[in-house]
Structure 1
Amino acid sequence: MVAWIRRVRTASGATAVQIAESVAGRRRIVEHVGSAHSEAELGVLLERARALLDDPGQGVLDVGVEPMPQVARLVGAGEGTLFEDPAAAGRVPAGRVSATASPLLFDALCGVFDDLGFEAVGDETFRDLVIARIVEPTSVLDTGRVLRDLGRKPASEKTMRRTLARCVGRGYRDQVARACFDHAQSSGDVSLCLYDVTTLYFEAEKEDGLRKVGYSKERRVDPQIVVGLLVDRYGFPLEIGCFEGNKAEKHTIIPIIEQFQARHQIEGVVVVADAGMLSASNLEELDAAGLGFIVGSRVTKAPIDLESHFRWYGDAFADGQVIDTITPKTGKNAENDPMLRAEPVWDKATHRSSWRAVWSFSRKRFVRDNKTLTLQANRARDVIDGKKAVKATRFVTTRAGTRRLDEKALARARSLAGLKGYVTNLSVDLMPPAEVIGCYHDLWHVEQSFRMSKTDLAARPMFARTKDAIEAHLTIVFTALAVAREAQNRTGLAIRNIVRQLRPLRSATITINGTTATFPPEIPSPQQTVLDALNPRRSQALSE
């Protein structure tokens, strides 16, 4: 049996596209695909006919003619007819585009989602919520529109809300966090983790047990929560947790680290955090847990840590100079003798009351710090002269009801300009000073992840009210952040750039002559490169 695609002119002047077969020397029409009245319609019908022939459900058919070109012409008058009676052929309406969508973008992000091991959650609605959060963050009510635009048939709003409830009840975050850890461990290492906190505010008027008004860098007075995020050295998320909105930053790091350790039974990790986490109790607890730490030091501790340097060399520093010394755990430095020119080499057994401190001087930082100090001094003078409103202004001191410029404090601050300190419990044998500084500067990765969660993934403002709803929202954002981070790592492009490039690649669903077919878009070379980078295994399989 031989099957082929047949074109024939109808009595109405259209070109009919049929699938015919030859049985025992006789031709039989198997399927009438439709009639075309234009070259474009003919191309659609021919593509539909080829799809029917290639459909495994139709059986393997041997097309007994040479493949037809993609662009075919209409059959002219006298080249053959399908209907003997012209009245039997009715005029059919022209083809119409019934829908367009961006399934390529959805499939590409789903590939990353699955590669990270998140398919183990086993919840397609959860996956759809994560992908929608990456492509266009919006409300649960509007998520269906985003998914339809991506070529997905969305679940109902009630199903989506039940999925959010399952996030907490079935421990989705635990599964996602374990998959993130496995991925980070297999693709790099988790020996060094970065930690930072941020705040997410709510469009709400009243506080409750979790949502409270607290310190906000943006000076907001809305109820908020404090969110702690732990990432690997490249910014890939490993752990997330939320706390009351009025909780101090330094009180969040230990619970997150303990949660991370308990989940993965891991020891020997080095945690990097900024100076906001610097408290005596935090460092003692991290050290007692067998964890290494690198935290930023406050510049006000420089006179104590560098007392020996200031005694012997004054406030003269060379650009790029690094001083490796010790810093007291509390109070004054009793283990660093300023009468000795050489700085002590920190040893955990010898210096029981001190941590290791690394200080560096940068000429570029010196210029920037001095510029800032000059602006602050000018502001202080304006406040003293009554040119600006009285506020808590640096370098303004009040004596006997008279405001004055604190010249000593200003001079002391200028003497410390250009210095940056780091505190650690890692000996110089384990990590030299330059590596300590380099690891601390990797904190920009976690800051970038927070910016992504706030802007690209629109983690705030939050409209959830209950603790479970808030936790579910954070689980979606945490998972979306992992997918977005991995997508960026694979392509070298920001996630917004990936979406902007791939979302316009839209498949079209066309209805013509009662036949509906979906056609993929033409993919330009730059976008194909992005798709190949996102799903390298799929691209390799297609090439083979």
Structure 2
Amino acid sequence: MFVRRKKNRSGTTSVVVVDKHGGKFKELHTVGVSCDETEIERLCLEGREWIKSHLGIRELDFEGSEGEDREREAAEEMLSNVDSILLNGARLILDKVYDSVGFNQVGDEILRHIVVARLCQPMSKMATVEYLKSHFDEDVSLNRIYRYLDKLYNTQKDIVQRVSVEHTFMVLGGRVEMLFYDVTSLYFESFHEDVLRTPGFSKDGKTAETQIILGLLVCENGYPLAYNIFNGAQYESCTMIPIIDDFKRRFGLDDFIVVADSGFMIKRNIELLRSGNYSFIVGARIKKYAGDVRKWILSLPHDEGLFYERALDNGDRLIVTYSSRRASKDAYNRSKGVERLKKAYASGKITKDKINRRGYSKFLKIENDVAVSINEEKIKEDEQWDGLKGYVTNTNLQPKDVVSQYKGLWVVERAFRISKGTIETRPIFHFTERRIEAHVCLCFITYKVYKELERIIYNLGMDMSVDKVLKIAKTITTIRLRLPLNGSMLTRTMLLTSEHKSLKPLFDHFGV
């Protein structure tokens, strides 16, 4: 924007304020017309004052021999008024997603800060303080974060779960049809045990560290609904019913089908599901069946794409399928397991404490407590089951629909991968029960925000993952410029590169 002298046909000179944008010039204001050079100079000064008074900035472009010097001087003055440069592109997006879920109802900005920071750069609470300051110019002390974790545990945990469930119901049109349940283990960088933290079967291979068990309930598309944590040594099959019962009681829902893998196929769970009038689909432990049912399973032809069904004595339905791909995987896994056994026990000796520590130990023949060998008959028996998979249900769904819904369990597995990978739920560095509970709740909220951003990206037709979007967004800067004449602040988010511009649909969607 600059003052221009424009020669007229009449011989006079017009002094106008001109703006140059996109290679085009636009006259914004005519200051005056004169043929007297002194008067023209006065009009030029008046034009510059007009720019200052109306826009709060200095003239950024000039004509004449002093134009370059004045331009440089104006640019330097503008740069000297830069208040801050923030690497906050990811925050601008995540703040909007956080609000769209409804977590702003919690009414505490500390929660927002630590959720956004965890998605941008998961790290310890101490390192989060520094990240918030250096990237977002937010002064949040470590003590405030710790105090907030206590507040989250004491008063806000139920609120955030309610907000999450209400949003999920809105997204799914008011009804949840499937509840998928599974568990995982979260370990500590500690060997200290207490009531909650104990050694147990670790899904992360951390056999020495203490751990807790996390049970997670999600619905279609992997939206999280509820969770609970248990003692690290808790038998995982006993964790399912308490969470489902609590979810049903709190939200008054019962028109859904519970889906769980064969690890939860124990007599007690099935009886409780049936007595609670729950519909369910559970992976069957087909090798545990005896008598006529076992004979029937082993007599089935190994045909791809067929569904075999049998009514059980308790009224449930057993559905069995065969897959050549699954058969190849079963054979490969068994072969690798036997090879590990042969190498581990090549001497033919074993101590009692190692008997159950190796996979496929069922193929060992143990004599006199210490002498071991590979039982080839057991291997032959196991081969009969290659490729077979069973499902137990009390629903009226068609067999192919039962199998299809059961395969939806991958959404829970993916939730655990994201939680452990992107969000880094573990290792856990807290030691008190309330802080551990609050940390898990925080990660639950963070995963919900992640899933909502994923949904929005999909709906906008952007062929990008959440991780890719956040990686790009973290390089987007916002410049804050002080306008000294009117005392206000000018803020501009800079989409400079082609990657930055690929996120424009997202910024436009949120009005950022």
Distance in 1 (CA, whole Å) between partners of 2:507 and 2:413 is: 24
Which residue matches 1:181? 165
User: Which aligned pairs between 1:190-205 and structure 2 lie closer than 5 A?
Assistant: 190-205=176-191
> What is the match of residue 493 of structure 2?
520
CA deviation map 1:481-539 (0-9, x unaligned): 00001112222433321211111111235689999865421355654454534773x35
Is contact 1:101-1:151 (8 Å) kept? yes
| Distance (Å, rounded) in 1 between the aligned partners of 2:399 and 2:117 | 44
Q: Which residue of 1 aligns with 2:271?
A: 284
Structure 2 SS opposite 1:229? strand
What secondary structure is seen at the aligned counterpart in 1 of 2:362? coil
How far apart are residue 394 of structure 1 and its match?
Answer: 3.4
Matched residue, 1:330: none
Match of 1:215 in 2: 201
Q: 1:232 to 1:412 in 2, by over 3 A?
A: same
Q: Quick one: distance in 2 between partners of 1:361 and 1:49?
A: 80
Secondary structure of the equivalent of 2:316?
strand
What does 1:97-136 align with in structure 2 at a 5 Å threshold? 99-136=84-121
Tell me: CA distance 1:81–1:208, structure 2 relative to 1, closer, same or farther (3 Å). closer
Displacement after TM superposition at 1:175 (Å): 1.8
Match of 2:472 among 501, 513, 516: 501
Change (3 A) 1:31 1:107: farther
**1:421-436 correspondence runs (5 A):** 421-426=390-395, 430-436=396-402
1:410 aligns with 2:383: no
Equivalence map 1:142-541=2 (5 Å): 142-171=127-156, 173-188=157-172, 189-217=175-203, 218-301=205-288, 304=291, 306-307=293-294, 309=296, 314=299, 316-327=301-312, 335=313, 353-382=314-343, 385-386=346-347, 391-392=354-355, 393-399=361-367, 402-426=371-395, 430-492=396-458, 493-509=464-480, 518-524=491-497, 527-533=500-506, 536=509, 538-539=510-511
Contact 2:2-2:61 within 8 A present in 1 as well = no
The AA in structure 2 aligned to 1:424 is T
Output the CA distance in 2 between the equivalents of 1:80 and 1:278: 80
Whole-angstrom CA distance in 2 between matches of 1:122 and 1:31: 47
Distance (whole Å) between structure 2 residues aligned to residue 423 and residue 177 of structure 1: 30
How far residue 108 of structure 1 moved from its aligned partner, in angstroms, is: 0.9
User: Per-residue deviation at 1:240?
Assistant: 1.3
Query: What is the distance in 2 between the residues matched to 1:284 and 1:80?
Result: 85
Kindly tell me: are residues 174 and 32 of structure 1, through their superposed partners in 2, closer, same or farther at Cα, counting changes over 3 Å? farther
Report the Cα distance in structure 1 between the residues aligned to 2:289 and 2:429, rounded to whole angstroms. Answer: 44
Q: Contact (CA 8 Å) 1:133, 1:457: kept in 2 or not?
A: yes
1:359 CA drift (Å): 1.0
Contact 1:305–1:325 at 8 Å: present in 2 too? no
Cα distance in 2 for partners of 1:149, 1:258 equals: 45
Confirm or deny: 8 A CA contact 2:199 2:210 kept in the other structure.
yes
Amino acid corresponding to residue 269 of structure 2 in structure 1: N
Amino acid at match of 1:174: D
User: Which range moved further: 409-418 or 288-297?
Assistant: 288-297
Number of residue-to-residue matches in the alignment: 460
Distance in 2 (CA, whole Å) between partners of 1:107 and 1:78 is 41
Give the Cα separation in 2 of the matches to 1:264 and 1:80: 69
TM-score (norm 1): 0.74
Percentage of matched positions with identical amino acids: 26
| 1:139 to 2:124 alignment | yes
After superposition, the Cα gap between the structure-2 partners of 1:20 and 1:316, relative to the gap in structure 1 and judged at 3 Å, is: closer
Deviation of 1:187 (Å): 1.7
C-alpha distance in structure 2 between counterparts of 1:100 and 1:131, whole Å: 19
Matched residue type, 1:136: Q
2:348–2:373: 8 Å Cα contact kept in structure 1?
no
RMSD over aligned Cα, in angstroms? 3.8
Structure 1 letter corresponding to 2:378:
A
Amino acid at match of 2:365: T
Q: Bigger shift: 93-102 or 133-142? A: 93-102
Match of 1:332 in 2: none
The verdict on how the C-alpha distance between 1:49 and 1:530 changes in structure 2, with shifts beyond 3 A counting, is farther
d(CA) in 1 for partners of 2:96 and 2:66?
52
The answer to whether the Cα contact below 8 Å between 2:297 and 2:320 also exists between their aligned partners in 1 is no
Query: Structure 1's 490 and 80: CA in aligned 2 closer, same or farther, altered over 3 A?
Result: closer
